[in-house]
Amino acid sequence: MKNKKILVGVIGIVALLLLSSIGYLLLGDRDAYKYYTGLGSGLAVSEDDQRIAFSYFNNESSAIFTANPDGSDVKRVSNPDHVYHTNPKFSPDGSRILYLSRDNNRIQSLYTANVDGTNPKKISESSQHVSEAVFSDDNETIFFSGTPAEEFQKSEGESQEGYDLFSVKIDGTSMQKLTDRDFYTMESLVFSAEKKEIIFKDFDELNAFNLEDQRVYAADFNGKLPADIFHLTLSPEKNAVAFTTIAEESKDTSLYEYDLFLKDLQNGDTERLTDLNSSVVSPVFFNNKNEILFLEYINWPKDPEEYKLRTVDLETQKVKEVTLEMPELEASNFVMKALDYSINSWSVGLLYTVLLILITIYVVPGKVYLPSFISLSIGMLAIVASFAVAAMVDPWAGIGVGMLAFGLLVCTIIAFLFALALKFYRKGVQK
């Protein structure tokens, strides 16, 4: 009798832990970067090659920093308050920077500041979500791609509007909508001073917007690059473009790898610059030396994304790591960090399995399979629900429910095998 009471108490504790964990997963802030410390995506090189800019995550925020190209003399130039500052860019004269600020709803706003971080100013509207931005050569105008914030928050298939190109002065005045085309995506914004155009990638097409006649047309090198390119960047001095695309040897594998390539726009030659067996992001040309600065996504495709800062020589293709001499940063809350990392789908599955096993032990010998059968019924209902959700609500939500059903069935099988072993054990004891 006493053992039964202890068992009931343990069942109650495990059930409470399970419900608390599920509640934390559903209602808690499950941001993978909340307690992450390390580099963020987005790099910039000043016009004179004397400074680089990058974002760095620490203690529930990410700030913009600048440094010498060798990683020394690191200076913090933005002060986020539980938001993420990313994607910095230098103005052509090197006096100012721009960056994006992402809030808890993943809405990004456009900010400018002096290059030392003073006088920060939000220059996009609160109703806008900004995906990318670049400076004009006049040091006064910024071009950015944006979409209504309320549309960005809608799930795929519900949104009625896409991305368009805008211009705004560095003080936030003279906002203009330059296109009204609702592009599906507007990535890899590049300002071409020579042709007075903005080059951008829309899904698998490279387009250009002419600033003089205000029209959109196919970019000069559209169709001359691989179909699946990302992180396009242009060097007018070298008459070349750099981009990332799928490495040939990974095309027949379950995980694509993305390496850095260079295309000479004069002779049309394309050469591969990296072979890192990972994913290259955020390449940017140096202006006066024959190198590209980039980030290697070393734990591709996991979250949070972990990067190493590297350079590659365009002639020798030698890759070097840049070690940043970061200043001392504030430590994260160890207890909350440990709690956040310990509560996940694996721990919930473990608690659910333990609960099933404990109930199996508690029930009368003739009904040891009852908890497993009940769990099996719940799992089958979840499978049916996944198809219904996918058809009527959202395919991705249906996949989520399907994964939950799969997890339930795995836990059920473990509990069933335990019940089977328990039944044989009790029979052996009785003999």
Note down pLDDT in tens along the chain; length 431 residues: 567 888 889 999 999 998 888 888 777 667 888 889 999 999 999 999 999 999 999 988 999 999 999 999 999 999 998 899 999 999 999 999 999 999 989 999 999 999 999 999 999 999 999 999 999 999 999 999 999 999 887 766 666 789 999 999 999 999 999 999 999 999 999 999 989 999 999 988 999 999 999 999 999 888 888 888 999 999 988 899 999 999 999 998 989 999 999 999 989 999 999 999 999 999 999 999 999 999 999 999 998 999 999 999 999 999 999 999 999 887 766 777 777 778 888 999 999 999 999 999 888 777 888 999 999 999 899 999 888 888 887 777 788 888 888 999 999 999 999 989 988 887 766 65
Is residue 304 reached through a cis peptide bond, with omega within 30 degrees of 0 on the bond before it? yes
Place of tokens 């328990």: 422
**pTM to 2 decimal places:** 0.83
Instruction: List phi, psi (to 5°) of 340.
Output: -65, -40
Number of H helices, E strands in the chain: 6, 24
* CA distances to 123, 163, 209 from 180, in Å: 20, 9, 12
194-200 own/partner pairs: CB under 8 Å, 24+ apart: 194/236, 198/134, 198/143, 198/165, 199/232, 199/234, 200/145, 200/165
Q: CB within 8 A of 287, min separation 6: which ones?
A: 45, 47, 48, 49, 235, 237
* CA distances to 87, 169, 288 from 291, in Å: 20, 31, 9
Q: How far apart are CA 78 and CA 84, in angstroms?
A: 10
Q: Tell me the three state secondary structure of residue 410.
A: helix
Paired strand residues for 199: 190, 208
> What share of residues in the chain are helix, strand, coil (percent, to 5)?
30, 35, 40
Q: How far apart are CA 284 and CA 92, in angstroms?
A: 14
pLDDT of 332 reads 67
pLDDT of 397 reads 78
Contact 106, 130 (CB under 8 A): no
Element (H, E) at 12: helix 2-27
Contact 283, 263 (CB under 8 A): no
Contact 214, 167 (CB under 8 A): no
Strands (E), 59-163: 61-67, 75-76, 84-90, 96-102, 108-114, 121-122, 128-135, 141-148
CA atoms within 13 A on the CB side of 251: 6
Would you mind telling me the total number of residues written for the chain in this entry?
431
Q: How far apart are CA 173 and CA 170, in angstroms?
A: 7
pLDDT of 232 reads 95
Element (H, E) at 378: helix 370-392
Contact 90, 133 (CB under 8 A): no
Token pair listed for 340 = 């956040």
Q: How far apart are CA 189 and CA 420, in angstroms?
A: 62
Element (H, E) at 8: helix 2-27
Q: How far apart are CA 138 and CA 237, in angstroms?
A: 18
pLDDT of 318 reads 97
